[in-house]
A and B are shown apart, each in its own frame.
Chain A
Amino acid sequence: MLGFRLSAQTPPPARPVTDGVVSRFEHTYEVDPALMTEHVRQQQIPNWDFRRIVDSRWEHLHWMRDHFADQVIAASELLAELEAEG
Chain B
Amino acid sequence: MAIALEGSVVDELIAICGPEGVFTGRSALFNRARVPAPFPAHRWEDHIPQAVVLPTSAEQVSEVVKLANRHGIPVVPRAGGTGLTDGAVPLNHGILVDVKLMNRIIEIDHGNRTVTVGPGINMLKLNEELRRHGYFYPDDPASYPCSLVGGRIGTSGWSLIGARYGHTRDLVVSFEIVLPTGEIIRVGDGGGRSTRKSSSGFQLKHLFIGHQGTLGIVTEATLELAPRPEAEFSAFFSFSDYMGAHRLTGDLSRSGVATLGGVVLFDEMKIAYLRRDDEAYIPQDESVRAVVACASYGNADEVRAGAKRLLRIARASDGSYMGDEISQGDWWSRHDRYATPQHGRTRDGQVALMSWHCEDAAIPYTELPAVREKWHAIASDLIQRFDMFDDWGMFAYTNGAHKAWGDYLTEIDIGIWESRWTDESWAAWVDAKREIGRVALEHGGSLTACHGSCRAGEVDLVPVELGGGFEVMKKIKRALDPNNIMNRGKYLLDQAYEEE
Interface residues of A (CB under 8 A from B): 17-18, 20-21, 27-31, 35-40, 57-58, 60-62, 64-65, 67-76, 78-79, 81-82
Q: Determine the distance from Cα of A30 to Cα of B353 in the docked complex, in whole angstroms.
A: 15
The reply to whether the CB of B178 lies closer than 8 angstroms to some CB of chain A is no
Scoring B residues 122 to 148 as 1 if CB is less than 8 Å from chain A, else 0, what string do you get? Answer: 001001100100001000100001000
16 extra interchain contacts, Cβ-Cβ under 8 A, other than A21-B283, A69-B229?
A20-B276, A30-B279, A31-B277, A35-B350, A37-B350, A39-B346, A39-B352, A58-B329, A61-B329, A61-B332, A62-B332, A70-B230, A73-B304, A74-B324, A78-B304, A78-B308
Smallest beta-carbon distance A2→chain B, Å: 28
The reply to whether A69 and B353 form a contact with Cβ atoms under 8 Å apart is no
Scoring B residues 229 to 240 as 1 if CB is less than 8 Å from chain A, else 0, what string do you get? Answer: 111111100000
| Chain B residues near A31 (CB-CB < 8 A) | 276-277, 279, 343, 351
Interface residues of B (CB under 8 A from A): 124, 127-128, 131, 136, 140, 145, 228-235, 275-277, 279-283, 286, 297, 300, 303-304, 307-308, 311-312, 315, 321, 323-324, 327-329, 332-333, 335-336, 339, 343, 345-346, 349-353
The reply to whether A68 and B283 form a contact with Cβ atoms under 8 Å apart is no
Q: Determine the distance from Cα of A35 to Cα of B349 in the docked complex, in whole angstroms.
A: 6
| Chain B residues near A71 (CB-CB < 8 A) | 230-232, 300
Smallest beta-carbon distance B55→chain A, Å: 29
The reply to whether A68 and B335 form a contact with Cβ atoms under 8 Å apart is yes
The reply to whether A40 and B297 form a contact with Cβ atoms under 8 Å apart is no
Query: 14 A-B contacts, Cβ less than 8 Å apart?
Result: A18-B276, A29-B279, A29-B283, A38-B346, A40-B353, A58-B329, A64-B333, A65-B335, A67-B127, A68-B140, A72-B233, A75-B321, A78-B308, A78-B311
Smallest beta-carbon distance A43→chain B, Å: 12
The reply to whether A36 and B327 form a contact with Cβ atoms under 8 Å apart is no
The reply to whether B280 and A57 form a contact with Cβ atoms under 8 Å apart is yes
The reply to whether A79 and B351 form a contact with Cβ atoms under 8 Å apart is no
**Residue from B231, B304, B349 in contact with A20 in the complex, judged by beta carbons closer than 8 Å:** B349
B-side interface mostly = mixed
Smallest beta-carbon distance B470→chain A, Å: 38
**Residue from A17, A64, A68, A76 in contact with B297 in the complex, judged by beta carbons closer than 8 Å:** A68
| Chain B residues near A37 (CB-CB < 8 A) | 350
The reply to whether B279 and A39 form a contact with Cβ atoms under 8 Å apart is no
Q: Determine the distance from Cα of A73 to Cα of B280 in the docked complex, in whole angstroms.
A: 22
**Residue from A28, A35, A57, A64 in contact with B351 in the complex, judged by beta carbons closer than 8 Å:** A35
| Chain B residues near A75 (CB-CB < 8 A) | 233-235, 307, 311, 321, 324, 327
Identity of the chain A residue whose Cβ is nearest the Cβ of B283 in the assembled complex? A17
The reply to whether A21 and B229 form a contact with Cβ atoms under 8 Å apart is no
Q: Given A29-B283, A62-B332, A68–B232 Cβ distance below 8 Å?
A: yes
Identity of the chain A residue whose Cβ is nearest the Cβ of B136 in the assembled complex? A68
| Chain A residues near B231 (CB-CB < 8 A) | 69-73
Q: Determine the distance from Cα of A40 to Cα of B275 in the docked complex, in whole angstroms.
A: 19
Identity of the chain B residue whose Cβ is nearest the Cβ of A62 in the assembled complex? B332
| Chain B residues near A82 (CB-CB < 8 A) | 308, 311-312, 315
| Chain A residues near B339 (CB-CB < 8 A) | 60
Q: Given A35-B349, A58-B329, A64–B307 Cβ distance below 8 Å?
A: no
The reply to whether B351 and A40 form a contact with Cβ atoms under 8 Å apart is yes
| Chain A residues near B280 (CB-CB < 8 A) | 57
Q: Determine the distance from Cα of A24 to Cα of B277 in the docked complex, in whole angstroms.
A: 16
